[in-house]
Amino acid sequence: MTRAEWEQQLASDYKHRGRRKTDFCSDSRISLPDLYDEESLKNSGFDSQRDLGFPGTYPYTRGIYPSMYRADFWIMGQYSGFGNPEATNERFKFLLSQGQTALALALDLPTQLGLESDQELADGEVGKAGVAINSLQDMEAIFAGIPLDQVRQVFTTANAIGPIMLALFLALGEKQGVDPRRFTIVLQNDILKEYVARGTYIFPPTPSLKFTNDALEYCTRHLPHFKPLVICGSHMRQGGASAVQEVAFTLANAQAYIDEAVGRGLDVDDFAPSLECQLSVPMNLFEEVAKYRAFRRMWARLLKDRYGAKKPESMKCFIRVYTTGYTMTAQQPLNNIVRVAIEALAAILGGAQSLSANAMDEVLSIPTREAAQVALMTQHILANETGIADVVDPLGGSYYIESMTNTIEASALELMQQIADKGGAQKAIEAGFYQGIIRRAAGEYQKEIEKGERVIVGLNRFVDDKHKMKIESFKADEGVQQRVIQKLHGLKSNRDNEKVRGCLCALEQDIRAGKNTVPALIDCARAYATIGEMCQVLGDVWGTYKEGASWL
């Protein structure tokens, strides 16, 4: 049968059986034909030799390792942390007892913003969205009985305070008597996206970008196995960006960091292997799989062609994935288990290296222990029961996936050019370019839901007002703030305050002299200076950043 003959059959099929919709498109509004075949692949400019290669070889479309999950499953590190350090320590031990292989530490907002727990602005938010950390003392409590070399890696969402958390982990390693060469710290430490979507910036963009790179430079010179910078698209995606926009924004931000590091005289092959990227995974399964494949290829080409990287490690992109918040519904919350499973499936079919699966109740509160367990077990089920991890890049060669991969790459390159025309990522963000795109996209998404054009089960279709799906909800311990503050006050009256002052003075001198801040921060951490005190010193020199009100 020829393609033309088949199309005749298709037309008559539609005539008899009708058509669900006139137009089909992906979440990124990539128009979807009835069928992808050899010809579509040819039309998308596909060249197997150039675009695919083998897994573990340039351009890494098929994965960064030749063996992928046949050697080992992906890293399972569920993002967790809440209340005071003792509560988080208990949750960590539980997750490790359930076969979790890495730790991902969630920090409360005061900690992420460099506020001490007793400051007025912190009131009501201590220990809420993560654990409250003021000093090394709290790190010791969080990791009591968990030596840092007992897990594959420890990740944390320090962004504005990235180098400070690095210093705290190094001081903690000394306290635990574990050589830093035997553990791996992963810092999110990506400040640019904070001005776009996540919001935990403290200082203005220019000094912040330098501060981020202090951690990158320090690790490159002293701890090359650490991962001091995870460039994130996931938060911008959660804010409303499409898959294509997520890819373009992330890679444009990556260029800003790489340019800064190269500008400091670092060799790209010395630091690029330690960079990682974090992407989101909403429900549009095939587009998501194609997105990871396109992203890896674009990363490899960017590093090789633009930055002249020579080492294969520089061109391999380690991808961390978080399942998505905005796809969850507060209505019929048990359905979120299914959504998380499908998103996690897409991430693994796309070749991710690390995965954090959301708990079904995160749309309502901090996860209960039970919900957190179901999320982790979802990963174990995918790994052990489905066989999806048994063959390398199982969807590679699919007409649909390969065409989609090419389309995403081409569209993202176009958007990256627009960002370059605006003077690069930092300038584009300062001008509100990313933010405008994201705001519009999120607004349109909501409109589609309200018009019923986009079906969300249990929300705008298959709604059941009669029977309410009830799940147990997490009860925040309201006494936490008081206990954390008491501990902080106890620390300040017991530590060597003279020594703390000396360390903070030395930090200020280093900042003013334009030196790398990490060595001075390590001294501050060892002396039990608080994160708040360190940020105060930084802010005195650099100033702080504020978003202003705007008419829409």
Partner 1 sequence: MVMKSSRRIPRVLIAKIGLDGHNRGAQVVAYGLRDAGMEVIYTGIRQIAAGVAKTAVEEDVDVIGVSSMVGAHLAVLKRLKRELEALHAADIPVMMGGIIPEEDYDELRELGAGAIFPPGSEVKNIVQYILGVTNGIMDSGSSGNLVRQ
In the complex, the smallest distance separating the C-beta of residue 443 from partner 1, rounded to whole angstroms, is 3
Q: What is the phi-psi region of residue 486: left when phi exceeds 0, alpha when psi lies from -120 to 50, beta otherwise?
A: alpha
In the complex, the smallest distance separating the C-beta of residue 280 from partner 1, rounded to whole angstroms, is 12
In the complex, the smallest distance separating the C-beta of residue 460 from partner 1, rounded to whole angstroms, is 8
Coil, strand, or helix at residue 228? Answer: coil
Q: How far is CA 188 from the centre of its chain?
A: 7
**Neighbour tally for 19: CB within 10 Å:** 9
Identity of the residue, 200 or 406, whose beta carbon is nearer to partner 1 in the bound complex: 200
Identity of the residue, 109 or 420, whose beta carbon is nearer to partner 1 in the bound complex: 109
In the complex, the smallest distance separating the C-beta of residue 178 from partner 1, rounded to whole angstroms, is 33
Query: Within 13 Å of residue 157, how many CA atoms lie on the same side as its CB?
Result: 31
Asked whether the beta carbons of 344 and 285 are under 8 A apart, the reply is no
Q: Give 89-121 as a DSSP string.
A: HHHHHHHHHTT--SEEEPBPHHHHTT--TTSGG
Identity of the residue, 128 or 320, whose beta carbon is nearer to partner 1 in the bound complex: 128
How far is the C-alpha of 316 from the C-alpha of 307, rounded, in Å? Answer: 14
Identity of the residue, 47 or 464, whose beta carbon is nearer to partner 1 in the bound complex: 464
Identity of the residue, 85 or 239, whose beta carbon is nearer to partner 1 in the bound complex: 239
* Separation in Å, CA 341 to CA 1, 77, 187: 39, 15, 26
In the complex, the smallest distance separating the C-beta of residue 474 from partner 1, rounded to whole angstroms, is 9
Q: Give 206-227 as a DSSP string.
A: HHHHHHHHHHHHHHHHH-TTSB
Identity of the residue, 59 or 127, whose beta carbon is nearer to partner 1 in the bound complex: 127
In the complex, the smallest distance separating the C-beta of residue 111 from partner 1, rounded to whole angstroms, is 10
Identity of the residue, 129 or 420, whose beta carbon is nearer to partner 1 in the bound complex: 129
Element (H, E) at 230: strand 229-232
Which residues are at the interface with partner 1 (CB under 8 A)? 109-110, 113, 115, 121-125, 128-129, 194, 197-200, 238-240, 326, 328-331, 363-366, 439-440, 442-443, 445-447, 449-450, 459, 473, 476, 546-552
Structure tokens of 404? Answer: 């989609």
In the complex, the smallest distance separating the C-beta of residue 265 from partner 1, rounded to whole angstroms, is 34
How far is the C-alpha of 434 from the C-alpha of 456, rounded, in Å? Answer: 26
Identity of the residue, 71 or 549, whose beta carbon is nearer to partner 1 in the bound complex: 549
**Neighbour tally for 472: CB within 10 Å:** 10
Element (H, E) at 354: strand 354-356
Identity of the residue, 175 or 447, whose beta carbon is nearer to partner 1 in the bound complex: 447
What letter would DSSP give residue 183? Answer: -
In the complex, the smallest distance separating the C-beta of residue 107 from partner 1, rounded to whole angstroms, is 11
Asked whether the beta carbons of 128 and 111 are under 8 A apart, the reply is no
Whether residue 59 is preceded by a cis peptide bond, meaning omega within 30 degrees of 0, is yes
In the complex, the smallest distance separating the C-beta of residue 104 from partner 1, rounded to whole angstroms, is 18
